[in-house]
Chain A
Amino acid sequence: MLLYLLQQLINALAYGSILGLLAVGYTMIYGILGLINFAHGEIFMIGAFSCYLFVTIFNLPWFTAAFLAITASVISGLALERIAYRPCIKKGGSVLAIFIISFAASIFLRYLFMMFFTDERRAFPIPPFFEKMYFVGGIVVGLRDIIIFITTILIMLIITYFIKYSKFGIAMRAVSYDKKTANFMGINSTLIIKIAFIIGSMLAGISGLEYGLSFGIVNPGMGFNPGLTGFIAAVLGGIGNVPGAMIAGFIVGIGEVLFVAILPSIYSPLRPLFVWILLFFILFLKPTGLFRPNVKFDGGWGE
C-alpha cells in the first residue's frame, strides 16, 4: 500500500507541475488586471497543440517545435491582451464585461482550433529520449516525469527570484497591489501588463508541453479542465501570490491524483469534482486562500 501510494505520488509530481505553471499565469494576470483570464487554458492548449503540429506537419525536430510552440503561446497571449482585453479596459468596461470577453476568447480559440483540426485526440510526439524508465525499489519512475518536475522547479525558482528581487518583479507586485499609486511612481502599467502576459503565457505554453509529454494526448479541447483546475490552484494560493500559486498547483495536483488512487474506482469519474470540493473546504476555512494574497481588498474590484 505504501509503495502504491509512493508510486501515485511520483505520478502526481508531473501533474502538479502542470497545474503549478498554469496557476502562476492566472494569478499574475488576475493580480495585475483584476481579470480572470479564462482563455489561459487555450494558451496552454496552443502550446501543446502547436508543438504537435510543428512536429507532424512541418517535420521539425522536437526541441525546435517546442520552442516555436512556446513562442506561439506567448504571441497568442499578447494578442489576447491587445485585441480583447486592453480596448475594453481602456473604455472603462465593467468587471462583468471583461469576464464575459475572457469566456468568449476562450471559446473562440478552442473552436477555432476545432474548426481547423477537429477535436480528435492525437498522439503527442514524444522524443524517444524521454521514454526511459527507471525502477527504484519497486517503483517506476519515468525520465520524462523527472525532467518535467525538475524543469518546473527550475522555472519556478527563476520566476520567484524575478518577482522577489528584479525591478520589474517588484514593480509587478506594486501594480498588483495598487495600480493607481504605482502609476504615480513612474511605472508604465501597460508595459507591466504586457510582461505579465508574456510570462504567464510562456508558462502556460510550457505547461501544455509538459501535459503532452506526460499524458501523450493532445486535442483542441484539452485546455478546458486543466485550465479550470489551474484557476482553482491560483485561488487557493492566495490570488496574486506567485509562489503561493505554484505550491497550490502541487497541492491540487497531488490531491487529485491521490483522490483517485485511494478511493474505490467507482469514484474516479468524480475526479474533476474533487478540486471544487477542495476549493470549497479551503475557502470555507480560509477565505483568502492558503497564502497571503497580493492584492488590496478594498471591498471592490479596484480601478
Chain B
Amino acid sequence: MLLSIEDVSTGYGKAQVLKNISLNLKKGEIVALIGANGAGKTTTLRCIMGMIKPWEGSIKFNDQKIDSLPPYEIVARGISYCPEGRDIFANLSVYENLKVGGYLIRDQNKFKSSLNWIYELFPILKDRCNQIAGSLSGGEQQMLAIGRSLMSKPSLLFLDEPSLGLAPVVVENIFNTIQQINAEGTSILLVEQNVTLALDIAERAYVLEKGEIRLSGECKELSQSEYVKNSYLGIA
C-alpha cells in the first residue's frame, strides 16, 4: 500500500468533521474521493498533509507512520497537494510559482528536469513563464497549480477539485493531462464534486458523507449502484 488511512477521526477545534475514515491507495492508482459540499473531502486531504492532526487512527505512507509530521516533512516524503480553488501565488510570476513548488529540490539538474517536465505537460506555462500568475485565466491557473505541485516529483498527488469553475473544454484538457501524469507513474488521489468525471477517470472511489465513508469500490460498480445513481449522478 502506498497510502493507508485507518480509522482516522479529526476536526477543527471541538467540531468533529471526520469519523473513523479508512482509505487506502495502491501504487499507480487513481482513487477518487467524492461527496457533497461539507462532507469532509478537503479535511481528509489536509489531515493527511499534516495541516490538522488526527484525533485518533493512523496514517501510513509507504508503510511509515506520517501522522505526526509537519506538512513540509510530508512533502519531502513524496506527497504533494494541489489545493482547492487553485491557490496559486498570484503575486509571483509563473516561473516563481514553479520554483516555490520545487522548493525542496537541492540539485539544480533535478530542478531543471522537473521544470522541463511541467513545461511539456502544460506548454502554455512555458509561454507565460514571466507573467504574473494572477493575470492567468482560470484554466491556466489550474494548470499552474497542478504543475507547481508536480515540481517536487511526488509519488502521490492530491488533486482537490481540479474541475471547479472551469469550462468543460478546459476540464477535458486538464483531465487528459491528469491521466497522462498518472500514466507516467504518479499515483493520484482525486477529490471531485463532478462525480461523473471522477468515476470516469479513477479506478476506485470512496463516497464520503457527513464525515463518514458511505460506500467504496471499483468505479465501474459504483457508477451502476442505485444509491450513487440517485444521489450523485442525478439519474433516476
Interface string of A181-196 (1 = CB under 8 A from B): 1111111100000000
B81's nearest neighbour on chain A, judged by CB, is A184
Contact partner of A184 (CB less than 8 A), chosen from B76, B83, B90, B99, is B83
Interface string of A266-303 (1 = CB under 8 A from B): 00000000000000000000000000101010000000
- In A136-190, which residues have CB < 8 Å from any B CB? 167, 170-171, 173-174, 177-178, 180-188
The interface residues of chain A lying within 8 Å CB-to-CB of B51 are 180, 183-184
Contact partner of B91 (CB less than 8 A), chosen from A183, A187, A294, is A294
Do the beta carbons of B75 and A174 come within 8 Å of each other? no
Do the beta carbons of B89 and A186 come within 8 Å of each other? no
Q: How many residues of B contact A (CB 8 A)?
A: 24
Interface string of B48-80 (1 = CB under 8 A from A): 010100000000000000000011100110001
Q: Does B211 sit at the interface, judged by CB under 8 A? A: no
Interface string of A249-260 (1 = CB under 8 A from B): 000000000000
Q: Does B92 sit at the interface, judged by CB under 8 A? A: yes
Tell me the minimal C-beta distance from A164 to chain B in angstroms: 9
Contact partner of B72 (CB less than 8 A), chosen from A167, A170, A183, is A183
Interface centre among A174, A185, A187, by most chain B C-beta atoms within 10 angstroms, is A185
- Chain A binding surface, main DSSP class: helix
On whether A186 and B72 interact (CB within 8 A), knowing A170-B100, A173-B92, the answer reads yes
Cα A136 to Cα B83 with chains together (Å): 60
The interface residues of chain B lying within 8 Å CB-to-CB of A296 are 90-91
Cα A171 to Cα B91 with chains together (Å): 12
Tell me the minimal C-beta distance from B195 to chain A in angstroms: 25
Do the beta carbons of B92 and A170 come within 8 Å of each other? yes
Do the beta carbons of B92 and A185 come within 8 Å of each other? no
On whether A178 and B71 interact (CB within 8 A), knowing A170-B96, A186-B103, the answer reads no
Q: Does B124 sit at the interface, judged by CB under 8 A? A: no
On whether A183 and B71 interact (CB within 8 A), knowing A177-B92, A178-B89, the answer reads yes
On whether A167 and B90 interact (CB within 8 A), knowing A180-B51, A184-B49, A186-B72, the answer reads no
Cα A292 to Cα B92 with chains together (Å): 12
B82's nearest neighbour on chain A, judged by CB, is A184
**Cross-chain pair count, CB within 8 angstroms:** 65
The interface residues of chain A lying within 8 Å CB-to-CB of B99 are 167, 170
The interface residues of chain B lying within 8 Å CB-to-CB of A292 are 91
Q: Does B204 sit at the interface, judged by CB under 8 A? A: no
Q: Does B148 sit at the interface, judged by CB under 8 A? A: yes
Do the beta carbons of B83 and A173 come within 8 Å of each other? no
Do the beta carbons of A187 and B100 come within 8 Å of each other? yes
The interface residues of chain A lying within 8 Å CB-to-CB of B70 are 183, 188
Q: Does B152 sit at the interface, judged by CB under 8 A? A: yes
- In B87-111, which residues have CB < 8 Å from any A CB? 87, 89-92, 96, 99-101, 103-104
Cα A171 to Cα B83 with chains together (Å): 17
Contact partner of A185 (CB less than 8 A), chosen from B75, B90, B91, is B75
Contact partner of B87 (CB less than 8 A), chosen from A181, A187, A294, is A181
Do the beta carbons of B87 and A167 come within 8 Å of each other? no
On whether A171 and B100 interact (CB within 8 A), knowing A186-B72, A186-B75, A186-B76, the answer reads yes
Cα A184 to Cα B46 with chains together (Å): 9
Do the beta carbons of A182 and B100 come within 8 Å of each other? yes
The interface residues of chain B lying within 8 Å CB-to-CB of A178 are 87, 89
Cα A184 to Cα B72 with chains together (Å): 7
The interface residues of chain A lying within 8 Å CB-to-CB of B75 are 184-186
Cα A296 to Cα B80 with chains together (Å): 23
The interface residues of chain A lying within 8 Å CB-to-CB of B92 are 170, 173-174, 177
B91's nearest neighbour on chain A, judged by CB, is A177
Tell me the minimal C-beta distance from A243 to chain B in angstroms: 13
Known: A184-B149, A185-B101. 16 other contacts (CB 8 A): A171-B103, A173-B92, A174-B92, A177-B91, A177-B92, A178-B89, A180-B83, A183-B72, A184-B75, A185-B152, A186-B71, A186-B72, A186-B103, A187-B72, A187-B103, A296-B90
* Contact surface of B with A, Cβ cutoff 8 Å: 49, 51, 70-72, 75-76, 80-81, 83, 87, 89-92, 96, 99-101, 103-104, 148-149, 152
A-B pairs with beta carbons under 8 Å apart, 17 shown = A171-B100, A173-B91, A173-B96, A174-B96, A178-B89, A181-B83, A182-B100, A183-B71, A184-B51, A184-B80, A185-B149, A186-B75, A186-B152, A187-B72, A188-B72, A292-B91, A296-B90
